[in-house]
A and B are shown apart, each in its own frame.
Chain A
Amino acid sequence: MMKQPDSGKCKGCAASSDSKLEKLGVKLGQADFVVALAGNPNTGKSTVFNAVTGLRQHTGNWPGKTIARAEGGFSYNGKKFKLVDLPGTYSLLSATEDEEVARNFILFGRPDVTVVVIDPMRLERNLNLALQVLQITDKAIVCVNLMDEARAHGVSIDGRGLARDLGVPVVLAAARQGEGIDQLLTEIDDMANGRSSCTPHRLKYDIPTVQESIEELVAALTDAFPTMPHREWVALRLLEGDPRIIQAVSTGEIGTLGEDHVATGTISACGN
């Protein structure tokens, strides 16, 4: 039921892939790749983060537990990865302060791979965010977490079908039990190293005049900021009048947005 990675390495044996993982915690040094963990609140992003890095980022069963970005590292197949745990977000379009941290990093932090952690029990709403992320990046992996819970509720997910519809690799996992983490790592590794390619599902702005307006703005933005990523998204936000994006464009800091809110490992003094 899970998507088989397509390269010729030894994927069958869990033991071997296990031994390829080295949890680096915060001892990171210079990472070869940056991987972002995005997703709706309370889908288990921090749990995935902990499973992979061996750190103990706080988890809790309510939306909004993580409010600042946290970084950790792991090494896989000899390459060093930096994993960034982000606050949960319902959408890239509207944001409270904590969500903005996530949004800015996904959009402007230039992660090499974005893992969207989704909850199978609330699939439609989670796909809403996943589709928005796929809109802006080619390098995304969807991790359907909480599969143990889904099974207990009699819900089954067709991972292969989902991968086909979304156009990106899909991994079914239960992070708290460590299930599916190996496969997630393999997919991350393949994607970061360019061994797998994908053609994400894209939406059409099927609203009259919107598409033309966006195209016009994208052309202008390309002109003014040749290196800026996600111009379509920025154009959409400008059209909607997002004050923070307008501000960022007018001051030219749009290219550096992903660098704010730099990692604050533990924000609280008392380890809460």
Chain B
Amino acid sequence: MAMDEQTLIQHALKLFAECDYDQQDISTELMQDKLAITPEQILQLLQNLRTAELVEQDSFALTASGREYALHVLQAHRLYETYLARKTGHSESIWHQLADEREHELSKDDVKKLAEELGHPRFDPHGDPIPTASGEMPAKQGNPLVNFSAGWEGRVVHIEDEPSHLYTRISQAGITTDSVLRIEQANTKEIHIRLEGQTFIFPHAVAEQITVVALGNDDTFDESIERLSTLKPGEKAEIVGMSSLCRGLERSRLLDLGVVPGTVATVQLLNPSGSPIGYAIRGACIALRKEQAEHIRIRKVRQ
């Protein structure tokens, strides 16, 4: 990837800030890997960063101004991803790439406007915290999913969006920040995870991208939770919640229509093409596309 100097500096600063946040040490190898540049270029880059007084002369730590700048880029990137997620039809797999392109063009003012327009979101769609204008971020929590073994239950707090081919697998499974899951099986190559009535098998490389925390006291993994999309005609379901993948206007619209915990839903109208399907919800017939029904969590009610 050919990058001009300015862009490269911004990418580097973002990387430094992310590592800082993740409490990960920066090394030239890491830079080489993440920024896809040669060792000579790294030397040059570091020299540039130090002359601009963005990075300390004797370590990899960011200076005050370097940190401010880095947080701005981070804020721009994560806000823009949030914007893409909420306001455009672009597919999840290219959010990161598009945000990478745009982050450099956004001035402080643009970022401020964007934040306002989006209602000052606190987390981007992947669960990464968005720095405020004053540069605050909540503390990081959790461990990678691969660290845990069979039988462990926990909640997803973050999903790494890079590289995109791994991320796509996770998002296609409908796993999001706040998904509650159980590890069914874990071996040296793969990890089988169970959530919402389905089992997904991920190689370690994928599981590596998912950060989880243990369940809180009043939080349990509930085997009986499934997705509305699996409901069949004649069956009855009680809605238990909505995935965080369903957000913005769509989420509040569904809430308004009565998709709230406790609501009973049945299939009322099938569609030959499988989508949308009409569900009887609070006395009305509401047609939902398959992707939407996948975001609604239910528990089947025995009759």
- A–B contact (CB under 8 angstroms): yes
Interface residues of A (CB under 8 A from B): 90-91, 93-94, 96, 121-125, 128, 240-243, 246-247
Chain B minimum-CB-distance residue to A250: B116
* B99 in the interface (beta carbon within 8 A): no
Which of B35-43, B117-125, B232-240, B270-278 contacts its partner?
B117-125
When chains A and B are docked, how far (Å) is the Cα of A243 from the Cα of B118? 7
A123 touches B120 (CB 8 A): no
Which of B143-151, B162-170, B186-194, B252-260 contacts its partner?
B252-260
* B284 in the interface (beta carbon within 8 A): yes
Interface centre among B117, B121, B256, B257 (most CB of A within 10 A): B256
What residues of chain A lie closer than 8 Å to B117, measured between beta carbons? 243
A94-B249, A240-B119 known; A128 vs B283 contact (CB < 8 Å):
no
Residues of chain B from 120 to 138 with CB closer than 8 A to chain A in the complex: 120-121
* B282 in the interface (beta carbon within 8 A): yes
A242 touches B119 (CB 8 A): yes
What residues of chain A lie closer than 8 Å to B119, measured between beta carbons? 240-243, 246
B252 touches A125 (CB 8 A): no
Looking at chain B, what size class is its interface with the partner chain? 10 to 19
B258 touches A125 (CB 8 A): yes
Q: Which of B253, B256, B283 contacts A121 (CB 8 A)?
A: B283
Chain B minimum-CB-distance residue to A121: B283
A124 touches B258 (CB 8 A): yes
A246 touches B116 (CB 8 A): yes
When chains A and B are docked, how far (Å) is the Cα of A216 from the Cα of B174? 39
A28 CB to closest chain B CB (Å) equals 33
Fill in one digit per residue for B230-270: 1 if any A CB lies within 8 Å of its CB, else 0.
00000000000000000001001101111000000000000
B116 touches A243 (CB 8 A): yes
A241 touches B120 (CB 8 A): yes
Q: Which of B116, B118, B121, B283 contacts A122 (CB 8 A)?
A: B283
When chains A and B are docked, how far (Å) is the Cα of A128 from the Cα of B263? 13
When chains A and B are docked, how far (Å) is the Cα of A33 from the Cα of B206? 64
A125 touches B116 (CB 8 A): no
The 5 closest A-B pairs by CB, nearest first: A241-B119, A94-B252, A91-B256, A90-B256, A122-B283
Inter-chain contact count A-B, CB under 8 Å? 42
A125 touches B118 (CB 8 A): no
A140 CB to closest chain B CB (Å) equals 19
A241-B120, A243-B116, A243-B117 known; A90 vs B284 contact (CB < 8 Å):
no
A125 touches B283 (CB 8 A): yes
Chain A minimum-CB-distance residue to B253: A94
Chain B minimum-CB-distance residue to A244: B117
What residues of chain A lie closer than 8 Å to B258, measured between beta carbons? 124-125, 128
B118 CB to closest chain A CB (Å) equals 7
Q: Which of B120, B121, B249, B282 contacts A125 (CB 8 A)?
A: B282
Chain A minimum-CB-distance residue to B258: A125
When chains A and B are docked, how far (Å) is the Cα of A90 from the Cα of B259? 13
B282 touches A124 (CB 8 A): yes
A243-B116, A246-B116 known; A125 vs B284 contact (CB < 8 Å):
yes
Chain A minimum-CB-distance residue to B248: A94
When chains A and B are docked, how far (Å) is the Cα of A8 from the Cα of B283? 39
A152 CB to closest chain B CB (Å) equals 15
B140 CB to closest chain A CB (Å) equals 23
When chains A and B are docked, how far (Å) is the Cα of A246 from the Cα of B257? 25
A94 touches B116 (CB 8 A): no
When chains A and B are docked, how far (Å) is the Cα of A68 from the Cα of B252? 22
A265 CB to closest chain B CB (Å) equals 29
B253 touches A241 (CB 8 A): no
A94-B249, A243-B116 known; A124 vs B256 contact (CB < 8 Å):
no
When chains A and B are docked, how far (Å) is the Cα of A246 from the Cα of B121? 14
A241-B119, A243-B118, A246-B116 known; A123 vs B252 contact (CB < 8 Å):
no
Chain B minimum-CB-distance residue to A239: B119
When chains A and B are docked, how far (Å) is the Cα of A93 from the Cα of B253? 9
Chain A minimum-CB-distance residue to B286: A125
A253 CB to closest chain B CB (Å) equals 16
Chain A minimum-CB-distance residue to B284: A122
What residues of chain A lie closer than 8 Å to B255, measured between beta carbons? 91
What residues of chain B lie closer than 8 Å to A128, measured between beta carbons? 256, 258
B256 touches A94 (CB 8 A): yes
Q: Which of A93, A121, A246, A247 contacts B252 (CB 8 A)?
A: A93
B85 CB to closest chain A CB (Å) equals 15
What residues of chain B lie closer than 8 Å to A243, measured between beta carbons? 116-119
B176 CB to closest chain A CB (Å) equals 20
